[in-house]
Structure 1
């Protein structure tokens, strides 16, 4: 029997694998590298994190800018997603595909729907969900689950945060100095910044309605609402990459939300970024 060259054996083997295992998904083939992905929706939020990067290097992937470097001893890649679910999902997917991070963290602001919270407070998301996905019927059908494009199965309504990252964040935040709320008089509120683990809901809408805020609280148990978190969480869930969403409140998602946003956004962005940076250094 004539012997095949060694290269032919490798070719034959690779062909057999492709034929026998065509259903291997990207999630199953995902090989993470020792790098942490950091995302934020706004340039100002991302800029705060970038300031902490040692020896930053800019990388362009399909037109989007990613910055690599180190925060503490950790290798990181940072990117601005832009506002909304599609932008967030696209940037997350590109980051996962190109850089293969071990985990994804999201920093940013949100509107508060928990009446016990006020601007500047922090919500560490133990779970995220879409509040604008589902069927619209006369019977007010409850929000339905999204479907996993990889497995074709239904996703959970709530995407759970990685338990290890969540526990670490809960401990780290106790040691992070957080800014109090600016007052109209020019001073700062002596009320300590409240930090809680809770539920964050996502939709392609800036909520500025007390009635809508109450509805999100009643229907989802929402503590905060924003426009990107669940999209990031869904991509991470489907690719099986650990994630955590951290939000600081810029407003209370009520009729005064636009006014409060302009006033408290800088404080909220700094508080959220400082928590994420401290979390990275603690990994």
Structure 2
């Protein structure tokens, strides 16, 4: 009986995944207008397409066909825009560019986290056996998703190679020194919740509970949609702040540089595909 149930779950998931027929186009997403605008500036022959009120822009970056969209802030907006993009354009893969708050004490505003894995930090439910879990459930197969959604391994490896040759902007030193601080890039854990984290205590708890290097408001929602439909995904986040009490001040100062560096990496990654 148990084997039969597992087979049916596998079959329903396999059948659904087979219905998704990808086209030779790459989906590019960002939460803010400014982040998306940086990518759109690189488009050749841009064309605008409206899908249920959401603006998508198609074009080329290098030899790659791409479609670009702004998700809006928060998990529901991110999931909705991702689903519309997948349904209408059928991208072969999705890349996300954006900013985040740093929860790794070794990172500073301006540094980059390539998300090797990503999780919801504000999700919790009770299983049929009355035990708490942080795992979401796949609405198609009814099976539990992993707590951490993994990045696509091929995209991750390519990003780790490409970033070594990307001319990232240096970060201004707080002391006003002669030269800027070079950007630190790491592959790490990103967590997602519907809250702008501006508390050192909250940041420490995310670090302790999830091993989080950065926190933001869209990634895990996009990752869950892509995981359930089996579409390759990579999320890149450049830190605008340290998710502490000074987050709003740091955000205003570092957001422009952080957004540009994240977009530069994503654009270079597209060209390298």
Per the normalisation by structure 2, the TM-score is 0.91
- Whole-angstrom distance in 2 between the partners of 1:237 and 1:112: 25
Question: 1:188 and 1:253, CA in 2 relative to 1: closer, same or farther beyond 3 A?
Answer: farther
Question: 1:188 and 1:161, CA in 2 relative to 1: closer, same or farther beyond 3 A?
Answer: farther
- Whole-angstrom distance in 2 between the partners of 1:94 and 1:220: 30
Aligned residue for 2:3? none
Aligned residue for 2:41? 51
What SS does the corresponding residue of 1:155 show, helix, strand or coil? Answer: coil
- Whole-angstrom distance in 1 between the partners of 2:125 and 2:189: 22
Cα RMSD after superposing both structures: 1.8
Q: Are residues 1:251 and 2:241 paired?
A: yes
Q: Are residues 1:145 and 2:135 paired?
A: yes
Whether the aligned pair in 2 keeps the contact of 1:176 and 1:278 (CA below 8 Å) is: yes
What SS does the corresponding residue of 1:212 show, helix, strand or coil? Answer: helix
- Whole-angstrom distance in 2 between the partners of 1:218 and 1:184: 28
Shift of 1:241: 0.3
Aligned residue for 2:164? 174
Aligned residue for 2:26? 36
Q: Are residues 1:65 and 2:55 paired?
A: yes
- Whole-angstrom distance in 1 between the partners of 2:69 and 2:29: 5
- Whole-angstrom distance in 1 between the partners of 2:12 and 2:201: 50
Question: In structure 1, which of residues 221, 227, 232 is the aligned counterpart of residue 217 of structure 2?
Answer: 227
Count the aligned residue pairs.
259
Gaps of 5+ in 2: 1-10
What SS does the corresponding residue of 2:60 show, helix, strand or coil? Answer: strand
What SS does the corresponding residue of 1:60 show, helix, strand or coil? Answer: strand
Q: Which runs of 4+ in 1 moved over 2 A?
A: 21-28, 182-191
Q: Are residues 1:155 and 2:145 paired?
A: yes
Aligned residue for 2:227? 237
Gaps of 5+ in 1: 1-20
Question: 1:248 and 1:88, CA in 2 relative to 1: closer, same or farther beyond 3 A?
Answer: same
- Whole-angstrom distance in 1 between the partners of 2:195 and 2:113: 19
Aligned residue for 2:5? none
Aligned residue for 1:194? 184
Whether the aligned pair in 1 keeps the contact of 2:43 and 2:60 (CA below 8 Å) is: yes
Aligned residue for 1:207? 197
- Whole-angstrom distance in 2 between the partners of 1:22 and 1:199: 30
Shift of 1:28: 2.3
Aligned residue for 1:7? none
Whether the aligned pair in 2 keeps the contact of 1:131 and 1:202 (CA below 8 Å) is: yes
Per the normalisation by structure 1, the TM-score is 0.88
- Whole-angstrom distance in 1 between the partners of 2:181 and 2:12: 58
What SS does the corresponding residue of 1:145 show, helix, strand or coil? Answer: coil
- Whole-angstrom distance in 2 between the partners of 1:52 and 1:193: 23
Deviations 1:98-133 (A, max 9, x none): 000000000000000000000110000000000000
Shift of 1:192: 1.4
Counterparts of 1:76-155 in structure 2, within 5 Å, are 76-135=66-125, 143-155=133-145
Say which one has the larger Rg.
1
